[in-house]
Chains A and B, each alone.
Chain A
């Protein structure tokens, strides 16, 4: 059933914008794709990304449609603390900064986060990690696809299924042709547009509003949104923070960038990206609190961001909002497609199915995987089940459970394979129980708590410290050759 939400832009204008942006992004995919001469180029942009592009890609990828659409949803559902809860995800980038340096040092020739888990903990834990990581990547991809459809529908009345199809198709096409060069290159442009757009939109919103009126309206109509003791929002704060940390720590989206950046760049780039990102969800979330002041009906909470921005700024502003939101979507969908396909290609196809595969064939397989992921996401997005928050946070317990096996695995010789495996399984399971029994805003916290206890306990009991030399696969191969 279509719940019908009154749109702001004329659908013809929406289609024109969509066509221009789509054409431009596909062209850029072709243009940058020429640089990818081998798999290092296609998957990791030659392992030579500098500071500017490194910071831009980290920031742009983290400014997803979730930032521009889920942050307002948080504010509308959970009030002031909801907004703050969302921005706490910046800690994911900030804490990953030193990890990026350690990853580059420990695994100079690796391709994926799966490589780390396989070398550090062995195959059993690796298989479980792959299930979690691919499932999460796919869930995120679905939330992006849904967001694309919701955005086009909210702003320009383009039917949800059509908008969702177009955004997924465009991202698949330029990722297929350009690989990580295209992803990072377009991220740089997208991050500039996003930052300028957020400043323009944020500034326009502040100047259009009488803050006293906004407060008075909230006090009268939605009092719990400005109540510092709204229980659900208090529960959401650390849940969202730990979800953010889990997302960044485990996902190949971030590991591939850490591998792609030149030595010495990763830590600085991620730190800067974290600070640049921090105010974005606050700016985006704030506008959701003005729905009552402007007397705008919201049919679904995940539509509140684009709808409010469009209504406050009028038609001209809606064009800016459309472009900013398109960029935030594209910058994340492409990263997800690239990183998830890398994980499947490297860890499953190359390591498990066809170890002797030639590079040319591997590139073809990458293309097939990217297209398949896009198609599968499209099928799941079609019925539009749930809202952005409920879809995304379903993966929360699983990703949060990976935090401690990863961070302790990078720094502690005593972290054990058994501990890592149990931390991820029990953390996921108990976290999911919390998700269903208590609410979507608790699962990640519960998963992370179980994970830290289990990983630490088994580390304390472990009598066999790990040898870091085992992490450099090229040395292991060379040693085996010498022995032969």
Chain B
């Protein structure tokens, strides 16, 4: 009899938690599509359905992983904000997902659809070429100013 009560209690507990979790909305990223980055930074924005009327401020958990299965994911952010700016990423694929969490009741809502960000930096050759070009233009400018000032000074 006691074991039956325990089983019923467990079943009811799991059902309640599932129902509470289901009552938390599933957020989505804005824009809801994969993105590329040539600079190693990206701004992720999201919203949950009910946030759109701004009366409820949910708590969110944002995760990042380098595989689509999130086998070795890490938490990037937990809080009320609706965006996070991520920078300094190396070349590679980065997967993101976000969900609403309720820390008081210790339940989590369903995950959003996964967003893929592909980081492929500009080529170093291009960067160094532009750097060299910039150096030449800058030094030419300094030369024009210095020589021009001296010439005018001598003329005066």
Interface band, chain B = 35 or more
A166 at the interface (CB under 8 A from B): no
CB closest chain-A residue, reference B125: A231
Interface size of A by CB at 8 A reads: 56
| B41:A218 contact, CB within 8 angstroms | no
Given A1-B30, A300-B43, check contact A452 B82 (CB 8 Å): no
Contacts of B57 in A (CB 8 A): 4
* Residue A420 at the chain B interface, CB threshold 8 Å: no
In Å, the complex CA distance between A439 and B130 comes to 12
Mark out the residues of chain B between 27 and 53 whose CB falls within 8 Å of any chain A CB in the assembled complex: 30, 38-41, 43, 45, 47
In the docked arrangement, what's the CA distance between A374 and B26, Å? 42
Which residues of A sit under 8 angstroms from B131, Cβ to Cβ?
234-235, 237-238
Across the interface, do A242 and B134 meet the contact criterion of CB distance under 8 Å?
yes
Partner of B82, one of A3, A410, A412: A3
Which positions 241-296 of chain A face chain B at CB distance < 8 Å?
A: 241-242, 245
- Verify if A354 is at the interface (C-beta below 8 Å from B): no
**B40, B128, B131 interface centre (most CB from chain A within 10 Å):** B40
A452 neighbours in B (Cβ, 8 Å):
137, 140-141
| Cross-chain contact B88 with A223 (CB below 8 angstroms) | yes
* Contact assessment for A231 and B127 in the assembled complex, using a CB-CB cutoff below 8 Å: yes
Residue from A105, A300, A411, A452 having most chain B Cβ neighbours under 10 A? A411
What chain A residues lie within 8 Å of B121 (beta carbons)?
Answer: 224, 230-232
Q: Which of A99, A102, A222, A404 sits near B89, CB closer than 8 Å?
A: A222
| Residue interface mask A82-109, B partner, CB < 8 A = 1 | 0000000001000100110110010000
The answer, yes or no, to whether A10 is at the interface (CB within 8 Å) is: no
- List B contacts of A442 (CB < 8 A): 130
A163 at the interface (CB under 8 A from B): no
Which B139-156 residues have a C-beta within 8 angstroms of A? 140-142, 144-149, 151-152
With A230-B40, A232-B122, A439-B38 as given contacts, are A297 and B137 in contact (CB-CB < 8 Å)? no
Contact (Cβ within 8 A) A224 B149: no
Cβ-defined contact, A445 with B38, below 8 A: no
Interface presence of B85 (CB below 8 A): yes
Indicate which residue in A1, A2, A99, A232 contacts B127 across the interface (CB closer than 8 Å). Answer: A232
Pair B87/A225 contact, Cβ less than 8 Å: yes
Contacts A98-B145, A223-B90, A439-B39 given; does A2 touch B82 at CB 8 Å = yes
Residue B70 interfacial (CB < 8 Å): no
Q: Which residues of B contact A102 (CB under 8 A)?
A: 148-149, 152
Residue of A nearest to B88 (CB): A222
Chain A residues within 8 Å of B85, by CB: 76, 298-301, 304
**Interface residue? A357 (CB, 8 A):** no
A2 vs B87: C-alpha distance when bound (angstroms): 21
A99 near B134: Cβ-Cβ < 8 Å: no
* Interface 0/1 of B52-78, CB less than 8 Å to A: 001001000000000000000000010
- CA of A59 to CA of B84 in the docked complex: distance in angstroms? 34
Give bound CA distance, A242 to B134, whole Å: 8
User: Contact at A448–B137, with CB atoms within 8 Å?
Assistant: yes
CA distance A99 to B146 in the complex (A): 10
How far is it, in angstroms, between the C-alpha of A235 and the C-alpha of B90 when the chains are bound? 17
A300: B residues at CB distance < 8 A:
43, 83, 85
A439 / chain B contacts, CB cutoff of 8 Å = 38-39, 122
Say yes or no: A221 contacts B88, CB within 8 Å: yes
Does A375 make an interface contact (CB < 8 A)? no
How far is the CB of B74 from the nearest CB of chain A, in Å?
9
Contacts of B43 in A (CB 8 A): 299-301
CB neighbours (8 Å) of B81 from chain A are: 3-6, 297, 299
Chain B contacts of A235 at CB under 8 A?
A: 122, 126-127, 130-131
Which of A6, A105, A245 contacts B80 (CB under 8 A)?
A: A6
With an 8 A cutoff between CB atoms, is A77 at the interface?
yes
Specify which chain B residues have a CB less than 8 angstroms from the CB of A449 in the assembled complex. 133, 137
At the interface, yes or no: A239 with Cβ under 8 Å from chain B?
A: yes
Of B85, B148, B151, which is in contact with the most chain A CB atoms at under 10 Å from its CB? B85
CB distance from A358 to the nearest CB of B (A): 37
* Closest A residue to B85 using CB positions: A298
Kindly identify, within residues 83 to 129 of chain B, every residue whose CB is under 8 Å from any CB belonging to chain A: 83-85, 87-90, 121-124, 126-128
| New A-B contacts (9) at CB < 8 Å, excluding given A223-B90, A231-B123, A238-B133 | A3-B81, A6-B81, A221-B88, A225-B87, A230-B40, A231-B122, A234-B131, A407-B144, A445-B130
8 residue pairs bridging A and B, Cβ less than 8 Å apart: A3-B81, A101-B149, A224-B88, A242-B134, A300-B85, A301-B85, A407-B141, A452-B141
* B residues lining the A interface (CB < 8 Å): 30, 38-41, 43, 45, 47, 54, 57, 77, 79-85, 87-90, 121-124, 126-128, 130-131, 133-135, 137-138, 140-142, 144-149, 151-152
